[in-house]
Structure 1
Amino acid sequence: MSPFEFAPFNLESVRLITNGCHTPAYPYKLNWQKKQFGRAFKDLLDATRTTHGINTQKYVANSCLYGFDLQAYQNNKYIELQQIGSTMISLNFNVPVPTNGLQLVVFGEFDSILALDKSRTVTTAMSI
């Protein structure tokens, strides 16, 4: 029932570069006609830790999303320190994009440390 269509649009590869670190380490080699997208689909499930009701048929048809887990350590017990730097998304297509172009939707989730001292002053690692 979503008004959005997340079709593959013949995307050949997608890569995130954060402070010089490439994710995924080995770029995807997507081929939608030959149904070669398994690694991107598995990485989406791993990064979000759920299926969101998306199976491989829905993924190819209208739910082609990409997930990147940028944690250095895959552990829910630790919060990583906040980093400041640049992030770049690289998209390569097999064919030209549609005439009106495409839109990229980016969602980020961040951990934050929240502390209260004895006078109930709130301190955070990020601005609220």
Structure 2
Amino acid sequence: KIILAEKIFGIFPHLIIESHPLLDGLSQGFIVPHARYAETDKEQIMQDSRLVINSVDDNGHLFMISSKEKPEQNFIFSHIEYGRTGLRDEYQREIAAHPDRHYKKPDNYSMSSPLFQWKDTQKTFFDNCLKQVEKSKLVLN
């Protein structure tokens, strides 16, 4: 875990580096929100032959890592679950909790009239998750 100089906070385009069933149907440049103060060490991940970096944002920050040995183990480093106002709500929670601090507003995101730019990405990703659960159930039976 690496603590970042400043919070990754906003909506960013992503690159698919290594395909994965959870990323099926997503195009290069798919949009996803991030909000975090830490990053996992990519060098350590790349040195571990059990792991694959599947996707990063356009700044190289992690979106998804998967396990080669255990296909059910996938690690997501974004807030793909957020709805339209998720980043605004998080920003307001931080301001309320620490009014003395200065917080950067989210990149590529309007606080006054937020758009749900990642709605299609979210639907595709979670549909893929459900397909994988269904496929796993069939294998177990």
TM range (shorter): under 0.3
TM-score using structure 1 length: 0.24
- Return the index of the structure with the highest Cα Rg: 1
TM-score using structure 2 length: 0.23
